[in-house]
Chains A and B, each alone.
Chain A
Amino acid sequence: MSDPRNLTIKEFCAACGQAADIDFTTLPALPHPYEGWEEKPLAAPSQTVMTNLDGTTAVRLKEPQTEEEKEQLVERFLAGLDRLFSREDNWTFLQPFLLSIDNCVKCNTCAEACPIFEASGRAEIYRPLFRSETVRRIAKRNRSKLGQVFDRLTGSDLEVGWESVARLAELAYRCTLCRRCAQACPMGVDNGLITRELRKLFSQELGIHPAELHEDGTIKHLSVGSSTGMNPMAFRDIIEFAEEDIEERTGMKIKIPIDDQNADILVMHNAGEFLSWPENLQAFAILFEVVGLKWTLASDLLGYDSVNYGLFYDDVQYARVTLKHAQVAKDLGVKKVLMGECGHAHKAFMAIGDRLWVDELNIPRESALTLMEDLVVNGKVKVDPSRNEFPVTLHDPCNMTRSMGIIQPQRRILKKICPQFREMTPHGVDNYCCGGGSGFAIMQSGSFPHWRKVISGRKKFEQILGAFQPEIDDPAIKKYVCAPCSNCKGQIRDLIVHYDAWERCGIHYGGLVELIVNAMVDVRPGFIEWQDIM
Chain B
Amino acid sequence: MGLLQLVVYACVLVFLVAVSVKIARYASAPVHMRWELYPVAHEKGRHHYGGSIFEEPDWWEKPRQLDHANEIREMGQEIFLLKGVRLNNPRLWLWSWPFHGGLYLVIGWMALLVVGGIMQLAGARFDGGVPALVRGVTLVVGYAGMALTAVGALGLFLHRTRNGDMRRFNTPADYLHLLWFAAAGVYGVAAFGAVDPGFDRLRAFTAGVIGFREAVPLPAATGVAVALGMLLVAYIPFTRMVHFAAKYFLYHEVRWSDEPLRKGSALESRIKQALNYGVSWRGPHIQTGQTWGQVATAGPADEAATEEKR
Contacts and interface: CB of A to CB of B under 8 A. Distances in A.
B171 A370 contact: no
Nearest to A8: B168
Interface residues of A, number: 99
Contacts of B43: 405
A319 interface: yes
B36 A351 contact: yes
Interface in B234-274: 240, 242-243, 246-247, 249-251, 253-255, 260-263, 268, 271-272, 274
A405 B46 contact: yes
Given A93-B32, A108-B166, A215-B310, A356 B55 contact: no
A315 B53 CA distance: 26
B279 interface: yes
Contacts of B219: none
B251 A188 contact: yes
A428 B46 CA distance: 12
A159 interface: no
B21 interface: no
A83 B292 contact: no
Nearest to B298: A320
Given A106-B174, A109-B88, A95 B168 contact: no
B32 A96 contact: yes
B32 A94 contact: yes
B263 A153 contact: no
B303 interface: yes
Nearest to A189: B250
Contacts of A183: 37
A179 B278 CA distance: 30
B128 to A, nearest CB: 45
A403 B37 contact: yes
A106 B170 contact: yes
Interface in A362-388: 362, 364, 366-367, 370-371, 373-374
Contact of A317 (B92, B240, B285): B285
A263 interface: no
Which of B58, B278, B281 has its CB near the most chain A CB atoms (within 10 A)?
Answer: B281
B285 A107 contact: no
B78 A186 contact: yes
B54 A350 contact: yes
B33 A93 contact: yes
B132 interface: no
B37 A89 contact: no
B283 A203 contact: yes
B63 interface: no
Interface in A71-92: 76, 79-80, 83, 86-89, 91-92
Contacts of B29: 87, 91, 94-95, 98
B50 A91 contact: no
A88 B173 CA distance: 32
B59 A366 contact: yes
Contacts, number: 272
Contact of A405 (B54, B57, B297): B54
Contacts of B283: 203-207, 314, 316
B281 A204 contact: yes
A345 B306 CA distance: 25
Contacts of A524: none
Interface string B115-154: 0000000000000000000000000000000000000000
Interface stretch (A42-50, A241-249, A406-414, A481-489): A406-414
Given A92-B33, A354-B34, A103 B247 contact: yes
B261 A406 contact: no
A154 to B, nearest CB: 5
Contacts of A211: 310
B174 A355 contact: no
B46 to A, nearest CB: 7
Contacts of B169: 9, 106, 108, 129, 133, 155
Given A103-B250, A153-B176, A351-B36, A98 B271 contact: no
B26 A358 contact: no
A223 B34 CA distance: 27
A473 interface: no
Contacts of B58: 336, 364, 366
Contacts of B83: 186
Given A323-B296, A354-B260, A366-B58, A94 B50 contact: no
B162 interface: no
A95 B33 CA distance: 10
19 contacts: A87-B277, A99-B250, A99-B254, A107-B85, A153-B172, A155-B173, A187-B243, A205-B283, A207-B283, A207-B284, A211-B310, A317-B285, A352-B33, A354-B34, A357-B261, A358-B263, A366-B57, A406-B52, A406-B54
Q: Which 10 A-B pairs have the closest CB atoms?
A: A405-B52, A429-B50, A186-B84, A188-B250, A95-B29, A319-B296, A91-B30, A155-B171, A88-B277, A405-B38
Given A190-B37, A402-B37, 15 more contacts: A89-B277, A95-B30, A99-B253, A154-B173, A155-B171, A188-B255, A190-B35, A222-B300, A320-B297, A362-B262, A405-B53, A407-B38, A407-B50, A409-B55, A430-B50
